[in-house]
Amino acid sequence: MGELDGFDAVLFDLDGVITSTADQHYAAWKEMFDDFLRRRAERLGEPFRPFERDDYNRYVDGVPRYDGVRRFLEARGIRLEEGGADDSPDDETVLGLGDRKNDLVNRLIAEQGVKVYDDSVVLLRHLRRQGVKTALVSSSRNATAVLEVARLTDLFDTRVDGEVAAELGLAGKPSPQTFLAAADRLGVPHHRAVVVEDALSGVEAGRAGGFGLVVGVDRVGQAQALRDHGADLVVADLAELIR
């Protein structure tokens, strides 16, 4: 099995690792934040600075939705009220902006469908044949729906996504809590499990959790950044792990 020899479980992120929905998430974040930032700049008479891919990689990729809003706004020196459950997606609060982004990404996925990375499916099926346990660990609250649309549900032994994390009170990435919970659900010691992530926050979580191997998946040309944030190994194609 190559690099994965000797491990009992592999824990996979979803967006950008199993599916190409990371691009749809980026597009949704950009549309939401650019609209907010443009209106704010006009009100204050300030230059408009758009949300860029680097902002996505640094502040929102792989983290829970509202945490992503907070992290990006803090980086821009912007303070907003937290808001409440009755906020609408049009409200300029942390929860309102997060819900607006969620509406946008759901629309994009409904319109465009879900593209699955073939190399990920090759690796998953290989692991299943070898008797290695697998888990999905995603900050997304839409992970179950995405798996069902992509017909990948049967490739995972357990799932710890945004919904499960909220139910259990787990901190999102870069905290390792969701990965640790997945390994515990599988009954596998952390040092016998592998984390597979494309997000900088995700590889940070894998490193902080003391996992046996942290694999960074470079889909967008950030191999060095993945290494800098804690990846032991970086690949562009997950099928490389079984050669």
Residue-wise pLDDT for 161-199, tens only, equals 999 999 999 999 999 999 999 999 999 999 999 999 999
Active site residue 34: no
First CA to last CA distance, the chain: 7
134 and 218 together in one domain? yes
147 and 123 together in one domain? yes
Q: Which structural domain, as residue segments, surrounds residue 143? A: 2-20+115-242
Binned average pLDDT, 10 residues per bin, the chain of 243 residues: 87 94 91 97 97 94 92 96 85 94 91 91 95 96 88 96 94 96 98 96 96 95 95 95 83
Which residue among 72, 96, 112 closes a domain? 112
Active site residue 99: no
The predicted pLDDT at position 82 comes to: 93
- CA angle, 142 as apex, 225 and 140 as ends, to 5°? 30
Domain CATH number, residue 95: 1.10.150
The predicted pLDDT at position 88 comes to: 81
Which residue among 112, 134, 162 closes a domain? 112
Count of domains in the chain?
Answer: 2
86 and 133 together in one domain? no
Q: Which of 15, 99, 161, 218 is catalytic?
A: 15
| Nearest CA among 25, 23, 224, 226 for reference residue 139 | 25
235 and 147 together in one domain? yes
214 and 98 together in one domain? no
77 and 130 together in one domain? no
13 and 126 together in one domain? yes
Q: Are 183 and 163 in contact (CB under 8 A)?
A: no
167 and 222 together in one domain? yes
Global confidence as pTM: 0.83
Tokens of 170: 């787990």
82 and 156 together in one domain? no
62 and 16 together in one domain? no
Q: Which of 5, 13, 198, 237 is catalytic?
A: 13
82 and 129 together in one domain? no
200 and 136 together in one domain? yes
